[in-house]
């Protein structure tokens, strides 16, 4: 409740307060005890659409000005904040109302009103302030709609959304994550992925992914093996994005997850069917007369997701173009690089390259240029290398294709090769 003295404060004070009222962006209205508007500053006239009578210099609300409550119901003048302040002699705070003037869009205002009482308790009127909050309400509505959309995405999307905090513990675990992995939001909250869904043998891979994310990689995608609460194995597609503040500090990570187990199994069945139709089997090593046939098999299998290593003594660009083989999978059998392609020529280097490829899970190797290797290292050395690789391919479930012109070999050499490899 405001109290003031009716004594003259002096001309300087009057000029000061008049200047303050005329320049403030907040609407200010003074109301007499009978409800008549005594004074209003320019901001109030603009916000509320007040009118001034030229004859009596009275200020009044235009009949075209409509007030409504925040819920949209009409408001009578005697329900306005200043009327309540006069009747109840209490301060009214943060009352939100809508105002519509003729030919104008609806504006939102925040209203505060206080009774003016002098020192002897006599009610002199009320002062009311109006703050235009139209832009703020628009922002609130945008935030409300955004929150609603996010809630719908959070609860109804077929994708799992998981937010991890900076310590890699679950912060948000949406219903689809619970459906995929079997852990409720309460069970998952605050847990590390190692305690939930990551098999021990794949944890080192996850350590590497997390390290890349906290160091600022924008997005890391992968298809990983996961486990559910009841012990089932799933294959899930993960898209991980770091969540950063304005300074670039990583506050956490958003993971969008999709169960692709069925697609993965279908892909595996198609891969095995492609291998069968190609006339080869996993774990076997093959000799053939035709490089073109080997390249066709290599293309078919790599197109089905089988990783490949293609070592050739041919134009690498032509092979990439004609058989749509990835350039990174092609190595030239040569003493120096050709057209930007990596080269290898020493028998030992070839053996090491194949061993690393198989250790990384590689599936098919094409080794062209056996005649070249024999001429450089001798048949016995090449044969010994192929003997050693025989069991490496068997153990890895991989496939070795070796095109060779058998006419360049004598009977003994043919027999030895065919004792270790199948003729395709």
Q: Look at residue 145 and tell me if it is in a domain.
A: no
Q: Look at residue 151 and tell me if it is in a domain.
A: no
Q: What is the mean pLDDT of residues 199-208?
A: 86
Q: What is the mean pLDDT of residues 38-52?
A: 80
Residue 335 clears pLDDT 50, i.e. is over it: yes
Distance between CA 374 and CA 6 in Å, rounded? 116
Residue 58 clears pLDDT 80, i.e. is over it: no
Q: What is the mean pLDDT of residues 263-292?
A: 90
Of the candidates 47, 128, 135, 46, which has an alpha carbon nearest to the alpha carbon of residue 94? Answer: 128
Q: Look at residue 148 and tell me if it is in a domain.
A: no
Residue 197 clears pLDDT 60, i.e. is over it: yes
* Number of CB atoms found within 10 A of residue 265's CB: 11
Distance between CA 356 and CA 390 in Å, rounded? 15
- Do 206 and 271 reside in the same domain of the chain? no
What CATH number should be reported for the domain holding residue 253? 3.30.450.20
Q: What is the mean pLDDT of residues 230-250?
A: 89
Q: Look at residue 83 and tell me if it is in a domain.
A: yes
pLDDT at 385: 93
**Contact (CB, 8 A) for 23 and 44:** no
Q: Look at residue 149 and tell me if it is in a domain.
A: no
pLDDT at 195: 92
pLDDT at 5: 47
- Do 215 and 327 reside in the same domain of the chain? no
Instruction: Please tell me the total number of residues recorded for the chain in this structure.
Output: 424
Distance between CA 70 and CA 79 in Å, rounded? 13
The DSSP code for 133 is: -
Name the least confident of 97-106, 277-286, 405-414: 97-106
Q: What is the mean pLDDT of residues 358-377?
A: 91
C-alpha distance from residue 67 to each of 76, 126, 248, 306, 313 (Å): 8, 19, 47, 71, 86
The DSSP code for 112 is: E
- Residue the block writes with tokens 């030919």: 103
Indicate yes or no: pTM above 0.85: no
**Contact (CB, 8 A) for 97 and 111:** yes
* Number of CB atoms found within 10 A of residue 108's CB: 18
Q: Look at residue 146 and tell me if it is in a domain.
A: no
- Do 399 and 356 reside in the same domain of the chain? yes
Mean pLDDT of the chain: 84
Distance between CA 285 and CA 390 in Å, rounded? 7
- Do 170 and 129 reside in the same domain of the chain? no
Total tally of structural domains belonging to the chain: 3
Name the least confident of 8-12, 197-201, 265-269, 390-394: 8-12
**Contact (CB, 8 A) for 42 and 50:** no
**Contact (CB, 8 A) for 336 and 347:** no
pLDDT at 51: 75
Percent of the chain with pLDDT over 70: 86
pLDDT at 76: 58
Domain edge (last residue) among 200, 230, 259: 259
Q: Look at residue 10 and tell me if it is in a domain.
A: yes
Helix, strand, coil content of the chain in percent (nearest 5): 40, 30, 30
pLDDT at 4: 45
Q: Look at residue 93 and tell me if it is in a domain.
A: yes
What CATH number should be reported for the domain holding residue 387? 3.40.50.300
**Contact (CB, 8 A) for 229 and 182:** yes
Residue 322 clears pLDDT 50, i.e. is over it: yes
- Do 238 and 301 reside in the same domain of the chain? no
Of the candidates 344, 337, 403, which has an alpha carbon nearest to the alpha carbon of residue 368? Answer: 403
- Do 194 and 343 reside in the same domain of the chain? no
Domain edge (last residue) among 212, 243, 259: 259
Element (H, E) at 15: helix 11-23
**Contact (CB, 8 A) for 299 and 278:** no
Q: In what order do the strands lie in the sheet with 364-367?
A: 343-344, 330-333, 308-312, 364-367, 399-403, 285-288, 422-423
Residue 182 clears pLDDT 80, i.e. is over it: yes
Cβ neighbours of residue 389 under 8 Å, at least 6 residues apart?
A: 285, 351, 354, 400
Domain extent, residue 209, equals 157-259
- Do 298 and 340 reside in the same domain of the chain? yes
**Contact (CB, 8 A) for 270 and 262:** no
Distance between CA 275 and CA 18 in Å, rounded? 91
* pLDDT band for position 30 (cuts 50, 70, 90): confident
Of the candidates 60, 85, 67, which has an alpha carbon nearest to the alpha carbon of residue 1? Answer: 85
Q: Write the pLDDT tens digit of every residue in 64-88.
A: 567 776 666 666 544 566 676 777 7
pLDDT at 358: 93
- Do 272 and 134 reside in the same domain of the chain? no
- Do 129 and 207 reside in the same domain of the chain? no
Residue 346 clears pLDDT 80, i.e. is over it: yes
- Do 346 and 404 reside in the same domain of the chain? yes
148/422: higher pLDDT: 422
Domain edge (last residue) among 225, 259, 293: 259
Q: What is the mean pLDDT of residues 319-336?
A: 91
**Contact (CB, 8 A) for 129 and 28:** yes
- Do 250 and 292 reside in the same domain of the chain? no
Return the structure tokens found at 392. Answer: 């490496």
* pLDDT band for position 2 (cuts 50, 70, 90): very low
Distance between CA 224 and CA 37 in Å, rounded? 72
- Do 73 and 129 reside in the same domain of the chain? yes
Distance between CA 361 and CA 156 in Å, rounded? 37
Q: Write the pLDDT tens digit of every residue in 278-319.
A: 899 999 999 999 999 999 999 999 888 899 999 999 999 999
Residue 270 clears pLDDT 90, i.e. is over it: no
* pLDDT band for position 37 (cuts 50, 70, 90): confident
Q: Write the pLDDT tens digit of every residue in 123-167.
A: 888 888 888 888 888 888 887 887 777 666 666 677 888 999 989
- φ/ψ of 385, rounded to 5, equals -60, -45
């Amino acid at each position: 409740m405001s109290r003031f003295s009716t004594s003259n404060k002096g001309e300087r004070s009057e000029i000061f307060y008049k200047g303050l009222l005329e320049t403030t962006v907040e609407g200010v209205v003074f109301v007499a005890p009978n409800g008549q508007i005594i004074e209003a500053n320019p901001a109030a006239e603009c916000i509320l659409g007040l009118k001034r009578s030229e004859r009596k210099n009275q200020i009044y609300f235009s009949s075209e000005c409509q007030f409504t409550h925040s819920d949209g119901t009409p408001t009578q003048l005697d329900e306005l904040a200043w009327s309540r302040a006069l009747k109840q002699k209490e301060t009214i705070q943060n009352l939100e109302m809508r105002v519509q003037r003729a030919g104008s869009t609806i504006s939102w205002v925040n209203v505060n009103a206080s009774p003016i009482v002098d020192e002897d308790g006599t009610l002199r009127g009320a002062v009311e302030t109006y703050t235009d909050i139209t832009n703020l309400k628009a922002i609130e509505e945008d935030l409300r709609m955004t929150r609603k959309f996010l809630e719908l995405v959070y609860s109804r999307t077929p994708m799992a959304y998981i937010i991890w905090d900076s310590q890699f513990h679950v912060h948000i675990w949406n219903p689809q994550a619970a459906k995929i992995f079997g852990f409720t939001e309460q069970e998952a909250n605050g847990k590390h992925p190692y305690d939930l869904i990551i098999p021990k043998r794949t944890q080192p891979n996850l350590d590497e992914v997390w390290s890349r994310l906290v160091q600022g990689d924008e997005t890391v995608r992968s298809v990983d093996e996961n486990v559910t609460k009841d012990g089932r194995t799933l294959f899930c597609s993960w898209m991980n994005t770091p969540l950063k503040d304005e300074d670039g500090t990583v506050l956490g990570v958003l993971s969008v997850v999709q169960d692709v187990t069925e697609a993965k199994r279908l892909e595996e069945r198609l891969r095995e069917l492609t291998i069968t139709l190609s006339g080869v089997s996993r774990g076997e090593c093959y000799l053939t007369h035709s490089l073109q046939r080997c390249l066709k098999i290599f293309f078919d299998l790599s197109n089905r997701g089988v990783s490949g290593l293609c070592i050739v003594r041919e134009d690498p660009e032509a092979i990439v173009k004609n058989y749509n083989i990835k350039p990174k999978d092609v190595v030239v059998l040569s003493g120096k690089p050709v057209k930007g392609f990596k080269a290898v020529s020493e028998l030992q280097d070839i053996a090491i390259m194949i061993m690393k490829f198989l250790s990384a899970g590689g599936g098919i190797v094409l080794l062209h240029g056996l005649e070249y290797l024999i001429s450089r290292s001798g048949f016995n050395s090449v044969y010994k290398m192929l003997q050693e690789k025989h069991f490496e391919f068997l153990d890895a479930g991989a496939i070795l294709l070796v095109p060779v012109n058998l006419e360049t070999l004598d009977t003994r050499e043919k027999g030895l090769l065919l004792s270790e490899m199948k003729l395709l």
